[in-house]
């Protein structure tokens, strides 16, 4: 079972995009996630031809069947502010293009806040941003809507909102979901035991469809159930706990989806140790 499990971390691209493969290999990952550029700035350098060709070559030479990228932090796809709309949509369009050229499978996007304009306004804004980016894309990269933690005015904390965004997009076959376990728990969806995991996944399947869950951010939560606190914790060390993650890993669908751990490496728990913990939970 563990041999086929697609599991890994968000890894650094410091110094070179290509080093992401080496860093993921060093940890023992079978999948990984990256930023394709500095996530804290609007400006970025175009991809160099040698980086594109090198990245695709490294992909062919390694075991990684699925690779995800994450959108930068600054865009707010749900916003109705004219300046924010322009900057955010241009950023998403550029990132979809970059991922397409690198042949990255998935681009994970935070949906942002409607800032009081209303949930449906935010939902329509996100759908329009996705279509604008995908209409100009010649690649095959899918945009994945990441469920949010339930902060005030956020879009995408409720499963129904994710479904509405997907149904509003013209490019329906290239929009899916990245399910973040910490965010779901913080938004009030219990994942701390077998029965809770079964109920939450059943609800997601009914409202959205498990087949839309293309990547899972496998993060424990520092915050309590329903706290709306987006604070990741090492797997098994937070409020979800080992029982919850063990139950998740017993689900046939979950075991076949790329699992990305987004907890930063620390002195207490290394990424290699955290990976071992997850593999033990698989049984």
Q: Which pTM was predicted?
A: 0.97
CATH number at residue 198: 3.20.20.150
CB 212 within 8 A of CB 203: no
Number of domains comprising the chain: 1
Task: List per-residue pLDDT tens for the chain, 283 residues long.
Answer: 344 799 999 999 999 999 999 999 999 999 999 999 999 999 999 999 999 999 999 999 988 989 999 999 999 999 999 999 999 999 999 999 999 999 999 999 999 999 999 999 999 999 999 999 999 998 999 999 999 999 999 999 999 999 999 999 999 999 999 999 999 999 999 999 999 999 999 999 999 999 999 999 999 999 999 999 999 999 999 999 999 999 999 999 999 999 999 987 666 789 999 999 999 999 7
Q: Residue 68: in which H helix or E strand, if any?
A: strand 67-70
CA 134, CA 140: separation in Å to the nearest integer? 9
- What is the residue range of 64's domain? 2-282
């Amino acid at each position: 079972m563990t041999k086929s499990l697609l599991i890994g971390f968000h890894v650094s691209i410091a110094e070179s995009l290509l080093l992401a493969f080496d860093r993921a290999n060093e940890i023992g990952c079978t999948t990984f996630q990256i930023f394709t550029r500095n996530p804290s700035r609007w400006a970025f350098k175009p991809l160099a031809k040698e980086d594109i060709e090198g990245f695709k070559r490294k992909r062919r030479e390694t075991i990684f069947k699925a690779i995800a990228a994450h959108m930068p932090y600054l865009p707010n796809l749900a916003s109705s502010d004219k300046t924010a709309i322009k900057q955010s949509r241009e950023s998403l369009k550029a990132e979809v293009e970059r991922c397409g050229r690198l042949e990255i499978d998935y681009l994970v996007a935070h949906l942002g806040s409607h800032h009081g304009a209303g949930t449906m306004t935010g939902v329509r804004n996100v759908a329009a941003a996705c279509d604008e980016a995908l209409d100009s894309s010649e690649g095959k990269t899918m945009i994945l809507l990441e469920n949010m933690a339930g902060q005030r005015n956020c879009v995408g904390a409720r499963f129904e909102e994710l479904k509405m965004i997907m149904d509003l997009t013209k490019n329906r076959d290239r929009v899916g979901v990245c399910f973040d376990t910490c965010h779901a728990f913080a938004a009030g969806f219990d994942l701390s035991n077998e029965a809770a995991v079964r109920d939450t996944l059943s609800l997601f399947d009914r409202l959205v469809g498990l087949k839309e869950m293309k990547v899972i951010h496998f993060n424990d939560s520092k915050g309590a159930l329903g706290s709306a606190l987006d604070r990741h914790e090492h797997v098994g060390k937070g409020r979800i706990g080992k029982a919850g993650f063990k139950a998740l890993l017993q689900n046939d669908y979950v075991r076949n989806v790329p699992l990305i751990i987004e907890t930063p490496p620390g002195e207490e728990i290394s990424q290699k140790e955290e990976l071992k913990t997850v593999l033990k939970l698989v049984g």
